[in-house]
Structure 1
């Protein structure tokens, strides 16, 4: 049995609360947050000085708040971990044993925690603490990878391209369709199939479209249809990147 405390009431914290509730091998000692919140009938406490004893403390707050929150916790020589992809564990208060428990996934409350596949990137300051994080992943039924700071930063960068930037492109596509009185839902099967392809194909081999066909007529027609210079330039940049990738 692992006793743990979760600090933070955002999407990541709430998802971990949900996962902990589904595990017989984990005991949620306390849920701490600077603001009052509740989830699955569990309420937070906002008194960061009144911290109960646990085996591990998981800080699920924004990157800019990690250091401040870790200093406010009245702890000494306890294992505390943050869930940031871009920060070293040394951002945590050095009175404690430190580590990283980074879920490489996007979280919204519309997703039920048990429905998400969440790869965990874990790291600890001391080797003796690694087993605890490994066991925590196993009890949460999550696949884990021991990833150091430098590789985790690269993964975080790659995640921004594959998740945040691609989602923004969906947003642009939605604006293009809606501005022309077209239902965006028509594109959703294509978006789904595009994502599914990379499960069994290299992304380069899965590439289709006018750029990889070197179809100048269609490319020029598309650029003419775009209303803003920003979108025109973005289209040209992606077209050239695809051509370069395919040596066209």
Structure 2
């Protein structure tokens, strides 16, 4: 059974999805470290590299920032949805499915999120809450974001969305008649309901911070696994709230 599933996930549509995820991460790395600046990095050191890990609002504009957030969303969120994609693919052995349409619908939702995130980044930068490199200017602001993300971990909406992500078979069977694209949109909405607050932690940790993205992707993927997520979601919320309060307090004292 396991061997057959592994062979099934080596088919062309899966290889295309894997290739897209790798390409998204490669693009993020390219944004973080332009090749023509590697020599300068050797002179100025790691702090110089860190300052290059974002596309600045003044240079990129709304379109550039939206593209950046879309690439980041694809790189981070597609891996977290692999169990759901695999479930849909297995259902395709018993009925006609359109894997590409499902993934497209999923990414449309995250495209909308990317627009909103880009607008938020521009607004926060203009308000002085973020630097042009996407780093928080204030420990109080960073603490508030951490507390918000932590509090959302305990919300009924988060739990409802996670319950669907953790049971993709029931989710698809419930909405099967709506077709692949609409199922992808539904999956994207549910996924965004799980993860939007954790994604916005980028405003505290630094937008386009590769280390943050890797850690956040891992946590969001684990949250959606039924045998792990139930033990992770609320403790993570408590850690975020405690960290946010401590960070804000350190700035006030």
Q: Sort the TM-score into its range (normalised by shorter chain).
A: under 0.3
Higher helix share: 2
Larger CA Rg, structure 1 vs 2: 1
More strand by share: 1
